[in-house]
Amino acid sequence: MYRKFKKRANPQKPLNAIDENTTYKVPRISSVDKTDDEIAAFVPESEEDNIPASQEQTQRFLSQHSIALAATLGRTQSSSKINCSRQPNSFFEMVLINAGVQLDNGDTFVLSCDHIAIVAKLRDILVRSPKYPDNIETFKAGLNVALAPKSKIAQKLLSGCTIDTAGEEQAYQSQNSMFINFLMIDFLREPCLDVLFNKIEEIAKLDRVQTTPGCLPLLPLMLAQLRYLTLSHSDQIYIHIERIFNNGSESSKLDIISNAEFVLDASKHDDFVELLIINYSSNKDLFHLGTVQMLNNLSLSARTQGKLRERILEFIKEDSSCSNVILPHLIRLLLNSLNQDTDDIVRQLVSTLREIFNWRHRAHSNDSTEMVRPTSNDKQSQLELFGFLQQGLRRSKRFYQIWQRTIGGLPSTEFRSFDFIMMLLLIHINEDNTLYIENLLRRRIKLEHMTVEILDEARTYFSHVLEQHIQVLMHILHDFVREKNRIVAEFAKSAYSILFKICNSIQKNILKKLLELTFDKSAQHVTTMALILMRELQRKNPKHVQNCAMLLLPLLDRLSDLTLPQTRLAMDLLCHIAFPEPKLTECAPLQDQIEMVVKKQQINCSEYVKKQGIIGCVQLIDAVARIETIIMDNEDLQTSVESITSLPDGRSKQAANLIMLTQSAIRNSPELLALFYDELASVLTVRHYNAESAYMLDNKFLIWLCELMTYRFQQSFVSEHQASTIKGIQLEYQKNINELDETNVNTESEVLSIGINVSELVLAPNSDASCSIFVLAPLFNLVSVLHNQRYQYSLEVINALLGCAIILPSFFDDANYVAIFDNYDEDLQKQILNIYFHTVNWIRVTICAFASQKHGATRKRVLMRLADLICIEQRLKLLLSHAPVGFVPPPCQFLNTPKQTGAQQGSRDKRQAGKTKTVTNETVGETEDQQVGNQSKLGNFTIKLGSCKSVKCKIDFEHLYGPLERYRQLDVGIILLLKEEPFTLNHPMEPEENGTHLGLLELRFILTDLVHKLGTVINGHQDVSEMDSLRSHVAKPEHFMCDLQECLGEISTLLKTLASYIDEQLEKVNNVHSNLDLFKDKFNYVKTCFGLCIHLFALYFSWNEWTDKSQAQLLQSSLRNALPEEQRKTIKKQSVANIASKVFDYFLKFEKSVLHIGTAVQLQRLLRSLRKLSYSPGENAARRAVQQAEEIRKTCTIMLKRKWFNHTGSLEKGAQCNIHLDELVKGFLKDSPFERQKDILSDLKEECGLLNKKDKALDSFPNVKKANFPLLFRGLCEILITTLSAQCNTDTDGDRFKLWESTISLLNGLLDVVQKVEQPRNFALFLKHSQLFLKLLLQHGLPVLEAIVRDSPERLIKFLSELQNVTKFLHNLCCHSKSIKNTAIICYIPSLRETLETLVFRVKALLAANKCHAAFHISILDNKDLHGDAIRTPAGSFANETNSDEEIPADDTSVDETVLDENVTTTSVSSSTRRSTINRSKSSSRSKCF
């Protein structure tokens, strides 16, 4: 309280020493008389008598502050000298001077002694005056003058003093003012307060108070004097403050508000807040920063806090741009409600806080100003804001628990980014709850309540607090990324990408975490995901990842443990960091290590390591050679580069040397050469076609490589010699369509007569690996890619290869090809089949290469080749049914080892060798099951044919390809055929339409391939060992989606055409779906193509990347293209949500055109995806989402009530049908309220008796029979428990017991169904879900029962009676299952017993607490089977039932049952009950429960 000052240069002399044994006579000083005379001179009206010089002992002071001063300051000796630099102007000043106060020394009064001595002197001077008490009025008048605004000593009176005591070397600064000393004197207190209040009121009315320059305002100083009289004068102070506040100026009101917490007593705080609420009708004026800070320090009642809470909520909603500076203080003000700490108040507080943050979020999402994104200046306020929330969570356990419970029970539409941040805070506050909250978050992610969009919003609006708790989130994501659930893993992957953008400080941590995941050998999918994510981070943030280059060096040591696709990802990442774009700095140490590793791998003896070397070298070549930024001009098109020596020194020559080095290392292996060409073509296609970066291949390097590969292809595979006969097979040039082109009139005849040497290379292979048939398709693919890049997407130089002839066996297109094929021995049959396969692969690669060409003649040849390809594949399908034992298709991809594949296939065929089947000439092709990873169920078909008998293959409309039909995958360019070519419904097509139109066969072929590619991209079905992993649609799915988006308009038009045709045919047969006209080949093709279109849209709009804001433009274009052309022009400026809603309504109309159950499931998935995309914040959007959910339920209801047939006209059945039915059942029951469940159960109970009859189905659901009835029953059980759990976690007012009454009623309905349709699977389902119900009853229901036991005992009796029906059945079911040793149910018995015992004793305790324990009786429950017959086994059971529990069989235990009497008010308990209870308390099972 005191500050030391240095003494003056000439300090005063110390006082003489006092000898206590000597008596001193001190004469009365005449200065007293002089003082009176002087005062009389200045104040003529005063007649003061002489003031005695002697002083009395210090009086008792009322102020507690004066006691503290007395304990602190012991210096009471007065200064021996008083500096009177001027004469006093009034009696008031003279009293101060005589008391030892220097008035004109500096900015403060200088006291010659401490405050206690000054107070004593003042008291003596005034009391001993002859004019006392009249001189008090004189003193008051002088004080009134001194406190005038322009007075020179007003500031000194109200501010601190300097204490300069004689004998001390230092002066002290006291914080107590002289006015405080006046208030310590009892007879001066009231006069001084009168003066002070008058001055405060006078100054408060002035808008501007003129004071001495450099001085503080007087009003705050005056108000500060009242803080020590708060307790003794609380009422008086508040009355004056209220009057002053009502009449004061705005600036004066702010001064009063800032001092209110010190001036007013706690009992007056509520009144003062009421005063503020009345005076400030505007919320903006009320919640000024100073006002909020003052309110935070007041002690307010719950009622006042409730009013403030309402005003704060209004303020936030009225002023959405509420300052980030004031918001933390408002939140702190709200958190003061925790002082009451009751459930209702805390629940209201949590609700208010969520509403405030969600309102601000909605306001920001609709705001385009700079306030949307927090700036660096907001960091302090944001951390302060959440710091207050953390303090509240630590301060109140109830607050923590209600927050946790509220987040756990939020509906899906109300979960926001703020709730996600609060989950992180809850984990940070209490780490013991980490597992629970993590599971809560995992469940929300699985249900898609927590999406990547919410996390991105958290990064946008709460970046600083998210950065503060990043370690908590990283720990959660580390667990999520290892999840097998695809949705959870994808969320973690996307989260890493989002967090990488927050700040530079966590980028290294993220890379370390991902690198750690790549070393995890326990889960390959985790390693793949981590590598993909690191590669994406490198491409999106090359500069930041480049700074961490050496951090990734250990990845090279991990290559030996990676699969080949994983090796591709790892080397792609490392090579583009070691050799980045020229504008970035290269990493020399990493370059040396990569080159050394690649060279060692290529000379390794292991074929697997060699493949790793090839893959790594291709990635290295691409990274090294990609340095060009200028597109090749016309002069460069004619330029030729003969050899490597002609290349300029630098990275282009280094890349060329790597190519030659790789070819020399693998020159003896055709499979490795094919892999090298495929890898090189794939990398060049991905990065050039999709414009991966601004840098392209060096022009000189591209010219050299293009000429080199074109020359090699021409020398190895283009033949012009006469075809010969090999091994008895006559070969000839076939399928030459180049001569049909009128533009080739001037072309040399040698070019038109060339052919691709397929058959000779198969029947008489060359020893040179570069001329192997395996290299044909990969090398041409590379040549076409290089020509596309060199000649700017033109293949005119090599267009002769599209329609040129192919050297094939003479019977290749013969009508009796099967009979001829059967006449050859097995070895030749295998080689003939290889010829067919290589021909198909060759045509596939040429079609994909030339599909992008715009020349009319070229496009015509592409369509002719496509029709020819489909015909050859159909022929090959039938030949494969005649294939010899152990036949393995030739490899079309070279990542896997063909020898291993062949061995596996051969052993499989040997196991099936004994299962032959003789069929007629109209045999079925094959019977495959697509559910078992391409494992064929094809037996050996021996077809007995005459030499000239034709064979017809039965069409499989379900699956285009069988298990042995493994062809080369089509490239993405096949999409262009849909966009450019017209479509016809004619089947077969008219002659004039051949080569100009797409038919049903061609459409099915293309759509099947696109659906397969989309399934690979969307659902992640690709195996890490498949060749698909190097395709462009897998390497860069976003570019594939962008390409597909361009064709969505054409696909939508096709869908509309197909649907119109289906509707016309249905009208012709009066909508009888079993009519045979609906199962003809043409109509089956139409149904198949229609289903493929729906499937394609369903996959496309389910892409999880749509939540990324960077894909918003692509999504909007895709949705627009999905609509009919006439609607696209009217929605250009609408939001994504509105367009998605229109697309939803559009596809909903196709429900009547669905004739296959698989298509019905895909339509449901499409509608769900569109509903998700059409969601946006707002009441209208929420209402629209509810309406769309109801439309989906109606659609699923219609689909389930429809009878489904396969393409042959038979009723749908089998495993795949049940899978589709299960999904429709889930959609049919999803989010159904109790009322709807009750109606469904009511109808089902009436119909389920039909299932007991042979081969009968339900009337309402024609495809549901007794065999698959558990699908429907499981759905009913799951929706019951799901609805109950959701309701339990939601805080709602009203009669909570109705929830449990409705649930037990539905559970009894399920019990009736189980008893009518006795099926073991249903028994297990009912037992499992009944146990879940009992657990929920224990957790949430017993408190509700406690509230109802006194109010409505009859309702409780009915509830427990219905529950007893269920538990008795469970008891009988367990006894029955144990007697017949049904292990599927026996495994549930221990946990069910424990649940029942817990419930029994909890209910007993409940009744005892309400003095109803006499109603709790125990009796014996016999072991009976499901039909009520006694089971004669020694096994006992325990089933206590307070009308709610029965017993579960257990060995060597008594069987009890508790029964609730009708008279609940009975209070007597039988002795048998007490004895039984005591005996049961000794059981081990109860001790386990309690």
In a 3-state reduction of DSSP, which class is residue 997?
Answer: coil
Residue with tokens 């990569």: 594
Sign (positive or negative) of CA dihedral 1232, 1234, 1239, 1242: positive
In a 3-state reduction of DSSP, which class is residue 1422?
Answer: coil
For β-strands 1447-1450 and 696-697, DSSP reports them as unpaired
Q: What angle do CA 963, 968, 973 make, to 5 degrees?
A: 130
Which of 658, 679, 698, 857 lies closest to 789, judged by CA?
698
Angle between helices 343-365 and 397-408 (to 10 degrees): 50
CA gap 1444, 1458 in Å, rounded:
8
Structure tokens at 1279: 């929706």
For β-strands 755-756 and 1447-1450, DSSP reports them as unpaired
CA gap 860, 994 in Å, rounded:
8
b (16+ CB within 10 A) / e for 1443-1458: bbbbbbbbeebbbbbb
Q: Yes or no: say if 407 and 440 are a contact pair by the CB < 8 Å rule.
A: yes
Structure tokens at 986: 């004619």
Neighbours of 1004 (CB within 10 A): 20
Distance of CA 577 to the CA centre of its chain: 30
Q: What is the pTM of this model?
A: 0.73
pLDDT digits 0-9 by tens, 999-1008: 999 999 999 9
What phi, psi does 718 have (nearest 5°)? -90, 120
Q: Yes or no: say if 1000 and 985 are a contact pair by the CB < 8 Å rule.
A: yes
Q: Yes or no: say if 776 and 838 are a contact pair by the CB < 8 Å rule.
A: yes
Q: Cβ contacts of residue 679 below 8 Å, gap of 6+?
A: 568, 614, 615, 618, 1030
Which of 763, 737, 955 lies closest to 863, judged by CA?
737
Instruction: Name the residue type at position 115.
Output: H
Q: What pLDDT, on a 0 to 100 scale, did the predictor assign at position 29?
A: 39
- CB burial of residue 713 (10 Å; 0-12, 13-18, 19+): buried
CA gap 1071, 1059 in Å, rounded:
14
Q: Cβ contacts of residue 139 below 8 Å, gap of 6+?
A: 91, 92, 95, 126, 188, 191
Q: Yes or no: say if 878 and 910 are a contact pair by the CB < 8 Å rule.
A: no
Q: What is the DSSP string of 1264-1321?
A: -BTTTHHHHHHHHHHHHHHHHHHHHTS---S-THHHHHHHHHHHHHHHHHHHHS--HH
Q: Cβ contacts of residue 1067 below 8 Å, gap of 6+?
A: none
CA gap 1406, 1120 in Å, rounded:
62
Q: Yes or no: say if 1336 and 1281 are a contact pair by the CB < 8 Å rule.
A: yes
Q: What is the DSSP string of 89-120?
A: SSHHHHHHHHTTEESSSTTS-EESS-HHHHHH
Q: Which residues of the chain have pLDDT under 70?
A: 1-86, 166-169, 207-215, 319-323, 361-377, 503-504, 632-638, 686-694, 739-750, 897-953, 1020-1033, 1035, 1177-1179, 1291-1293, 1413-1422, 1425-1429, 1431-1490
Q: Yes or no: say if 1406 and 1345 are a contact pair by the CB < 8 Å rule.
A: yes
Neighbours of 1228 (CB within 10 A): 25
pLDDT digits 0-9 by tens, 750-771: 677 789 989 999 998 888 888 9
Which of 878, 905, 877, 875 lies closest to 890, judged by CA?
905
CA separation, residue 482 to residues 289, 1107, 1424 (Å): 48, 22, 47
CA gap 1385, 1314 in Å, rounded:
15
What phi, psi does 675 have (nearest 5°)? -60, -40
In a 3-state reduction of DSSP, which class is residue 1484?
Answer: helix
H-state helical runs in 1131-1268: 1136-1148, 1157-1173, 1179-1200, 1215-1229, 1234-1247
H-state helical runs in 944-999: 976-980
b (16+ CB within 10 A) / e for 517-546: bbeeeeebebbbbbbbbbbbbbeeebebbb
H-state helical runs in 112-217: 115-127, 134-146, 154-158, 178-183, 186-204
In a 3-state reduction of DSSP, which class is residue 806?
Answer: strand
Peptide bond into 133 cis (omega under 30): yes
In a 3-state reduction of DSSP, which class is residue 1430?
Answer: strand
Neighbours of 137 (CB within 10 A): 11
H-state helical runs in 806-855: 817-822, 826-850
Q: What pLDDT, on a 0 to 100 scale, did the predictor assign at position 692?
A: 53
Q: What is the DSSP string of 712-734?
A: HHHHHHEE-SPP-EETTEEEEEE
Q: What pLDDT, on a 0 to 100 scale, did the predictor assign at position 743?
A: 54
Q: Yes or no: say if 36 and 48 are a contact pair by the CB < 8 Å rule.
A: yes
Residue with tokens 């009355």: 239
CA gap 269, 297 in Å, rounded:
10
What phi, psi does 1100 have (nearest 5°)? -60, -45
Peptide bond into 988 cis (omega under 30): yes
Q: Yes or no: say if 422 and 331 are a contact pair by the CB < 8 Å rule.
A: no
Q: Yes or no: say if 1300 and 1358 are a contact pair by the CB < 8 Å rule.
A: no
CA gap 1261, 1200 in Å, rounded:
6
Q: Yes or no: say if 1011 and 875 are a contact pair by the CB < 8 Å rule.
A: no
Provide the phi-psi class of 1140: left if phi over 0, else alpha when psi is between -120 and 50, else beta: alpha
Q: What pLDDT, on a 0 to 100 scale, did the predictor assign at position 66?
A: 44
Structure tokens at 1057: 């055409």
Q: What pLDDT, on a 0 to 100 scale, did the predictor assign at position 1201?
A: 92
Structure tokens at 474: 């990283």
List the end-to-end C-alpha distance of the chain, in Å, as a whole number. 61
Structure tokens at 1391: 């946990």
Residue with tokens 């060597």: 1452
Structure tokens at 223: 């108000």
Q: What pLDDT, on a 0 to 100 scale, did the predictor assign at position 740?
A: 55
Residues facing residue 29 across a β-bridge:
none
b (16+ CB within 10 A) / e for 12-27: eeeeeeeeeeeeeeee
